[in-house]
Amino acid sequence: MTPPDIHVHVEHIMGTAISIHIVDPRDDTVARDAVRACVADLRDIDRVFSTYRADSDISRIRAGDLRIQDADPRVAEVAAACADYEHATGGLFAASWRGGFDPTGYVKGWAVEHASRRHLAPLLASARAVGVNAGGDLQLFTAQDSDWVWDVGIADPHRPGRVLATMQVTNGAVATSGPAERGSHIIDPRTGHRAHGIASVTVVADTLAHADVWATAAIAAGPSDTTWIAASHTRTGLLVTQTGATTRWIGSTPVEITTASSWAA
């Protein structure tokens, strides 16, 4: 069997490494153009939403120099989505509880999903699969007539360098939160206190924005509350507590397990 020809392009955008993977592209020029357009789109989104740039729309809104309704139209779109998720999560996710409007917890997933669907997904007319890895969060696509499957490893938060489980994904998104990623900085918006008790949570959903929000919400919920799973409308996932207890869910049903393994997502 001929090994796949996988083209990989890496950029540093939105404060993280973003790698674009194209499996067996038939036209290298078209693939390069799509990657270039995707990167440009992500950089433009970062220009608008970065909290590290004083001239970004978000920084100006937080400083009181710009209103959301007068900003780039995408800001109002993101603000509306964040408000919807704050309601859906029961306040476990919020974009406006600390020092003004800050949609950082939503924007990266939304940006990667938006740019990859716009510029990379059309490559599936000739490529077997395309995917984006944004700091460990994934948006994945596979052509309808392709047998390609993305094998996604879930890191063991208690044993660095080891894989706790793997999931097979064809089309969808995978987001992970925890101290190894950004969980140590997640605050429960309901209390204003730092979230604790969960070592890692991985969420699989149709879109990266959705998976990312619910991975963040899970950290805020803590290890004793898994009621959010039924409300999340996610496909599957794996939650590991600081004590090592592991819960896997498929659909809305959480099950505590002793040994994680491999499963289709």
Percent share of the chain, pLDDT over 70: 92
In sequence order, the 6+-apart residues with CB closer than 8 A to the CB of 120 are 20, 22, 34, 35, 38, 130, 132, 141
User: Do 161 and 172 form a contact (C-beta atoms < 8 A)?
Assistant: no
CA angle at 171 for the pair 221 and 161, rounded to the nearest 5°: 60
pLDDT, residue 179, reads 62
Average pLDDT, the chain: 92
Q: What is the mean pLDDT of residues 165-184?
A: 82
How far apart CA 199 and CA 216 sit, in angstroms, is 12
How far apart CA 198 and CA 155 sit, in angstroms, is 14
pLDDT, residue 32, reads 97
Q: What is the mean pLDDT of residues 242-256?
A: 84
Q: Is 170 exposed, middle or buried (0-12, 13-18, 19+ CB in 10 A)?
A: middle
How far apart CA 121 and CA 91 sit, in angstroms, is 33
Q: Which residues does residue 133 pair with via DSSP β-bridges, in sequence order?
A: 19, 138
Q: Which fold has domain 6-258?
A: T-fold (3.10.520)
pLDDT, residue 112, reads 98
Name the region of 136 (left: φ>0; alpha: ψ -120 to 50; beta: rest): left
At residue 212, does pLDDT exceed 70? Answer: yes
User: Do 88 and 78 form a contact (C-beta atoms < 8 A)?
Assistant: no
Q: Which of 134, 92, 138, 120 is nearest to 265 (CA)?
A: 138
pLDDT tens track for 27-60: 999 999 999 999 999 999 999 999 999 999 999 9
pLDDT, residue 162, reads 93
Question: What confidence tier does 259 reach under pLDDT thresholds 50, 70, 90?
Answer: low
Pull the structure tokens for residue 2.
């001929």
pLDDT, residue 82, reads 97
Regarding predicted confidence, which is higher, 87 or 190?
87
Question: What confidence tier does 11 reach under pLDDT thresholds 50, 70, 90?
Answer: very high
DSSP 241-260: ETT--EEEEETTEEEEESS-
Query: 63-96 burial string, b = 16+ CB within 10 Å, else e?
Result: eeebeeeebbebbeebbebbeebbebbeebbbbe
Q: Helix H segments across 50-178?
A: 57-62, 73-88, 104-115
Q: What is the mean pLDDT of residues 108-123?
A: 98
Give me the sheet containing 172-177, strands edge to edge.
6-13, 16-23, 129-134, 137-142, 172-177, 198-205, 236-241, 246-250, 253-257
Least confident of 49-63, 97-111, 214-228: 97-111
Q: What is the mean pLDDT of residues 114-137?
A: 98
Domain ranges, ordered by start, for the chain:
6-258
At residue 183, does pLDDT exceed 50? Answer: no
The pTM of the full predicted model, rounded to 2 decimals, is 0.92
How far apart CA 43 and CA 50 sit, in angstroms, is 10
Q: What is the mean pLDDT of residues 186-190?
A: 83
pLDDT tens track for 69-84: 999 999 999 999 999 9
Q: Helix H segments across the chain?
A: 28-49, 57-62, 73-88, 104-115, 208-221, 228-232
Q: What is the mean pLDDT of residues 150-177?
A: 94
How far apart CA 176 and CA 15 sit, in angstroms, is 17
Least confident of 73-82, 90-99, 242-251: 90-99
